[in-house]
Chain A
Amino acid sequence: MATTATASSPELITPTGEILGPPVIETRGLTKIYGGVVALDRLDLSVPRAAIGLLGPNGAGKTTLLRLLLGLAKPDAGSAEVLGFDTATQGLDIRAHVGYMPESDCLPPGATAADFVGHMAEMSGLPGRQARQRAADVLYQVGLDEERYRLIKGFSTGMKQRVKLAQAIVHDPSLVFLDEPTAGLDPPGREDMLALITRIHHSLGITVVVSTHILEDVERVCDYVVILNGGRLVLAQPLRELGGSGGDLLVRVDGNPELFLARLAQQGIVGATAPDAYGNGWGELLIPNTGDRAYDAIRDVAAELHLPLRTLRRRERSLEDVYLGNFENGTANGNRNGQ
C-alpha cells in the first residue's frame, strides 16, 4: 500500500524555552523487568519535539527505553506513545516514521556505503530508484559523497558513524534515536558528529533523541534533557531552565567577609561559604539561595556593616551540577517531571 510521506514538523521549543505542541514521546507508568531486575520503573515522561538528550550512567535504562519506544520490546506495565502511536500495538507504524542509529558496530564490511544505505532506504519502503537517489543525497549530507562507493571495511570509525547516521535518516523520519553517536570518535570526529546532529535537528527539522552518558554532548546539541538513573526518571526539562532553577547566590563585598558571613548566619542564612581565596577582599561568597529571605538578608547585612556590595548574582548551574547533584542525592528527588 503506497502512502505519501509527511514532512517533519519544525522544532516546537521556542528560543525562550517555551514548549509548544503535543509531546513527541509520552510514557505512563512504563515498567520493564528483566529476570527480576527492574530496568525501567514506572516511568512517567512527556517530551516535546526538540533535540532531546537522554542522559544516565550505564544501566540507567536508556537502551531499554529506546527498545520500548521502538516497539521492539513489550513493557511489563504501563504504556508509551511515540508520535501519537502506541508502542505496544503500533510498533510497525512507529518504526516507519522513526530512524535508529545503534551504538554498536552494525555495518556489513563487505558492502559499499551507497549500497547499504540504499538497501536500508528500500527496507523502509522507498522504491529502488528513489532509494538509491536518497542514499546518494543523504551520504552527501553526512559528508561521504566521494567515499560512498568504497567498501565499508575500509572506513574509519568516524566514517562508519556517518554511515550509521545516514541509514537512520535516509527514509526522512520525523524522529531519530541516536544511541551514543560520539562513541569511539576522536575529538575532530566528535566535533563533526555533534555539528551533524545539530544540523539534522535545526536545519532538517528532524526531532532528535541523543542517548549518551557524555554531558557535554547534550549541552552542545540538545535543548531538552531527560535524566535516568536506576530505571527511574530523575529529571526531564528544557536545558535552559536548569540554570535558573534555584542556583546559589554569588556575592562579593569589600571589607571583612568573615564578619559578613557571621552576620548572615545570625540572620538565619546558614551554609554560606567563601570558596575562593579571600585574603584581598575580592573573592566571591557562595550563599544558599533561599529565595527572597536570602536577598533581604544580604542587603540588610551589607547595609548594617557598611560593606560595599560589589556583586550579587545567581550562580548558573551547569548540566554537570544538576547531574552530579541528583546522583549524590540518589533519586531522592523522586520521579520529577519538569513539565
Chain B
Amino acid sequence: MEVSTAANPPAAAAPARFGEVYDRGYAHYEGPRLGRRHAIWALIVYSVKRALGIKKSWTAKVIPIILYVGVSLPVIVGIGIRAFLPSAKVLQYPTFFGLIFTIEGIFVATVAPEMLCGDRRENVLPLYFSRAITRLDYLVAKLIATAILTLTISFVPALILWLGFQLLEKYPLTAMWHHLGDLGHIAVAGTLIAFYLGAGGLTIASFTGRKSVAVAVTIILFLSSTVLAQALFHAVSSGIRRYFVFISTPQTVIGLVNGLFNTRSDPMVSAANFSVWIYIIAMSAVVLIGCAIMYWRYVPHD
C-alpha cells in the first residue's frame, strides 16, 4: 500500500487505486496567499450565494425564485407578443422599468437585510474583522454583492428584452447597431437603479440585526415615500414643490427612466421638469450618503 501525505498528494494524473492510504496529519500550508482583493471577492461571492439561498434550506430559495419568475414574465410576454405582432409597440423600455420596479423594491428589501443583518445578528463580524480586510473592504464587498444581485433583476431582464427585440428583426445585427442608444440607456438605468436601491436597502439594514425589522422598514419607507412626496407636492404651491419628487423613490426612478428614454408617464415627474442629469446626480448622491452612513455605522468609535 502506498502512503501519501496531505502536503504531497499523489499526482493528479495517476489513477486512484483501491486501498490507498493517506496520512492526514497536519501539514503547514505552503500554497499561494492571494491577499485583500481575493478576500473581498470571496466575501462578494459568499454573500451573493447566501442571499439567493444557495446551500441553504429550500425555504430560503422561495422568495428569490418567485421574484426572478415575476421579473421574467414581462420579458417573455413582451418578446412573445413582438414575435407574433411585429408592429405592436406593447412593451416599451420605460413601461418595462415601471412594471418591474415594485419587484425590484421587494427584491432589495429582502436581499439587503440578508447581506448585513445576518453577520451582525450572528456575531460573525469579529471573525471577518480579524481577517486581513478593513471595515471599508467589508462594506464595499456587501455593496457590490447587493448591486450584482439587483443588476440581475433590473439590468439583465431589460438587456434580454432588448436582445429579444433585435433578434426578432429581419436583420438582427443591423437592428442592434441602430438601437445601441437604447442599450446604453438600459445600462445606465439598470446600473443606477441597482446602486440606488441597493445603497438605500443596505443603509436601513445597517441599523439593525433583525432581518424582519429591516425588511418591514424598507418596504414601509418605500411605500410611504411616494405618499409623502405626493402630499407635499399638492400641499405646497411655491416653486420648491418640484424638489419633493426626490423624496419618492419610485418617482425618482421614473424621472430617470423618462429622462433617458424621453417619455412622460407621471404627472408629478412631468411637473417637476428636471433634466435627466439632475436625477443622475440625485441618485448618485443618495448612494454616496448611504455609503457614508454605513461607514459611520461600521467604523469603530474608539
Instruction: Quote the shortest CB–CB distance from B120 to chain A (angstroms).
Output: 11
Identify the 4 closest CB pairs spanning chains A and B, nearest first.
A122-B42, A100-B130, A172-B29, A125-B33
Jot down 22 A-B pairs with beta carbons below 8 A, ordered by A. Answer: A2-B35, A4-B32, A7-B28, A7-B30, A70-B130, A72-B130, A98-B130, A102-B126, A104-B126, A106-B123, A108-B124, A110-B56, A111-B55, A112-B55, A122-B42, A122-B46, A123-B43, A123-B133, A124-B39, A125-B34, A126-B33, A205-B28
Contact of A119 among B42, B57, B126, B302 (CB under 8 A): B42
Of B24, B32, B43, B300, chain A has the most CB atoms within 10 Å of the CB of B32
A4 / chain B contacts, CB cutoff of 8 Å: 30, 32-33
Tell me the residues in window 34-60 of chain B with beta carbons closer than 8 Å to chain A beta carbons. Answer: 34-36, 38-39, 42-43, 46, 50, 55-57, 60
Contact of A74 with B by CB under 8 A? yes
Closest Cβ–Cβ distance, residue A185 to chain B (whole Å): 18
Q: Indicate if B122 sits at the interface (CB-CB under 8 A).
A: yes
Q: A72's closest neighbor in chain B, by CB?
A: B129
Q: How far is A105 from B126 in the complex, measured between Cα atoms in Å? A: 10
Tell me which residues from 174 to 203 in chain B have a Cβ below 8 Å from any Cβ of chain A: none
Report A137-154 CB contacts with B as 1/0, cut-off 8 Å: 100110000000000000
Any A CB within 8 A of the CB of B101? no
Residues 98-142 of A, flagged 1 when their CB comes within 8 A of B and 0 if not, give 111010111111111001000110111111101000100100110
Are B131 and A124 within 8 A (Cβ)? yes
Assuming A123-B39, A125-B38, A137-B26, is B32 touching A3 (CB within 8 A)? yes
Q: Confirm or deny: B88 has a beta carbon within 8 angstroms of a beta carbon on chain A.
A: no
What distance in Å separates the Cβ of B160 from its nearest Cβ neighbour in chain A?
Answer: 29
Separation of A70 and B134 alpha carbons in the complex (Å): 12
Decide if B29 touches A171 in the complex (CB within 8 Å): yes
Contact present for A102 and B32 (CB under 8 Å): no
Q: Which residues of chain A in 9-67 are interfacial with respect to chain B, using CB atoms and an 8 Å cutoff?
A: 34
| Supplied contacts A4-B33, A123-B128, A126-B32, 4 more A-B pairs, CB within 8 Å | A2-B33, A72-B129, A104-B126, A123-B43
Query: Given known contacts A100-B130, A104-B123, A126-B34, is B29 in contact with A119 (CB within 8 Å)?
Result: no
A96 to B6, CA, bound (A): 23
User: What residues of chain A lie closer than 8 Å to B30, measured between beta carbons?
Assistant: 4-5, 7
Binding site for A on B (CB under 8 A): 6, 24, 26-36, 38-39, 42-43, 46, 50, 55-57, 60, 118-119, 122-124, 126-134, 300, 302
Question: Is residue A95 within 8 Å, beta carbon to beta carbon, of the partner chain?
Answer: yes
Nearest-neighbor residue (CB-CB) of A203 within chain B? B26
On chain A, the residues within 8 Å of B56 by CB distance are: 110-111
Interface size on A, residues (CB 8 A): 50
Residue contact A100 to B33, C-beta cutoff 8 Å: no
A204-B26 CB under 8 A given contacts A115-B55, A119-B42: yes
A95 engages B127 (CB within 8 Å): no
Contact B31 A130 (CB under 8 A): yes
For residue A332, CB closer than 8 A to chain B, the reply is no
Q: How far is the CA of A26 from the CA of B172 in the complex (A)?
A: 69
B95 CB to closest chain A CB (Å) equals: 39
CB-CB contacts of A146-187 with B at 8 A, as 1s and 0s? 000000000000000000000100011000000000000000
A169 to chain B: closest residue by CB: B26
Q: Which of A122, A127, A172, A204 contacts B32 (CB 8 A)?
A: A127
- Complex Cα distance, B123 from A102, in Å, reads 10
Residues of chain A contacted by B60 (CB below 8 angstroms): 110
Contacting residues, chain A, for B133 (C-beta < 8 A): 92, 123
